[in-house]
Amino acid sequence: MTSDPYALPEALVAAQRWDSARAALGEALAANPDDPRLTGLLVRTLRAQGARQEALDASQRLLALTPQDPYALRLGTLVCLDVGWVDEAITLAGRAVQRDPGNSANHLALSRAWAGSTRPEAVANQLAAAREAVLIDPNSTDAQVQIGAALAADGDVVAARVAYFEALRRDPGNTAALNNLAVLEMQSGSPAEAARHLASALAANPHGVSARRNLDALAVLVARRAGRWMLMAPFPGLVAAAAGFDLLARVLAVLALVLLPTVWLRWWRALTGGQRQALRGLPRRMRARTWFWPVLAALVGGSAVAMAVLAPNAVTTTVVVGYLAVMTYLLLLGALGSTPMRVMRARAASRSSDVGRMLGGR
């Protein structure tokens, strides 16, 4: 009696034992190289291993074997997105929807494909496809995440937050929703809330790449905020010194330094011990130029504080005007050099769909 050729590979893929699955699939495909079921499992395995080119080759072979199978089309969508072929992914997902419009996984795949596009109609199409997926499957947490990602990309932060919390209501450990909520809080200027969401995301998935990258982005954001504070906070003290109020100038300058830790403290307390440990390696992970602006801002602001405290008599109207010009220039420079929130939203959205939900069943 011939044993089931699918049992072992499917069990290994389900267990995410990718190396063993690849070996088992190699043996099974050697006996039957044109089996679409085995080829589909191979595509999933290669994607999980990060073998993008091999996954692309296997996906194209699967599409050649079953060109109208929605499952193969959804797999092809994922692989195309992995290699940056967004338009091709949209085409494949669109074909899947045409073949089986009653399957929410197909609409979710189409929404996911549009999420990677920069075309003018991308956000509207992403949102429409995700809402169609929810209509078909009201319990789809990943469709709610896609709705949130589309709304966030469209600038509707309040509605995006509602969608993410709806996903969390159904799945409290949904790492994509937690990660994307953290990005929204970064955009809204709430680093402590962002840190809490990232902590929850990392607790649910300690190896989550998006959450770890956004934790780094959050740390840089806080550093830049501290730099802006150091630039702006000494200015009232300089004005008081130029007006001849030396004592007031010293008090204001000291307050600028005393209040600076509040920029960091609430955020730092929101971090877990593991997050703090991870951030210790941040200087090595980030390019040196990342820290250029915060350090420069701190040095310029620190010199202003020192002048207001130690030599208020030396501060003249000319000095105040000159500092105002330098401060304005550095603030503009910092604004131009910072990471656009649109980019951070895209990072979050790019991993907002779970592979299992998006692939669905055959």
Please state which of the ranges 124-128, 150-154, 163-167, 343-347 shows the lowest mean pLDDT: 343-347
* Residues 85-113: tens digit of each pLDDT: 999 999 999 999 999 999 999 999 999 99
Please state which of the ranges 109-123, 162-176, 280-294, 306-320 shows the lowest mean pLDDT: 280-294
52, pLDDT greater than 90: yes
> What DSSP string describes 96-114?
HHHH-TT-HHHHHHHHHHH
pTM surpassing 0.85? no
| Per-residue b or e along 173-210, where b marks 16 or more CB atoms closer than 10 Å to that residue's CB | ebbbbbbbbbbbbbbeebbbbbbbbbbbbbebbeebeb
245, pLDDT greater than 80: yes
Tally the C-alpha atoms within 13 A of residue 273's C-alpha that lie toward its C-beta.
0
Q: Given this model, what pLDDT does residue 355 score?
A: 46
Share of the chain above pLDDT 70, in %: 89
The H or E element that residue 1 is part of is none
Neighbouring residues of 224: CB distance < 8 A, sequence distance ≥ 6: 293, 294, 334, 338
Q: Given this model, what pLDDT does residue 198 score?
A: 83
User: What is the spatial distance between Cα 39 and Cα 66, in angstroms, rounded to a whole number?
Assistant: 11
How many residues in total does the chain contain? 362
Instruction: Scan for tokens 């802006």, then name that residue.
Output: 228
Instruction: Scan for tokens 């509602």, then name that residue.
Output: 162
Tell me what the mean pLDDT of segment 245-273 comes to: 78
141 phi-psi bin (left φ>0, alpha ψ -120 to 50, beta other)? alpha
Is-contact 185 193, C-beta < 8 A? yes
Please state which of the ranges 21-35, 93-107, 267-281 shows the lowest mean pLDDT: 267-281
Q: Given this model, what pLDDT does residue 358 score?
A: 53
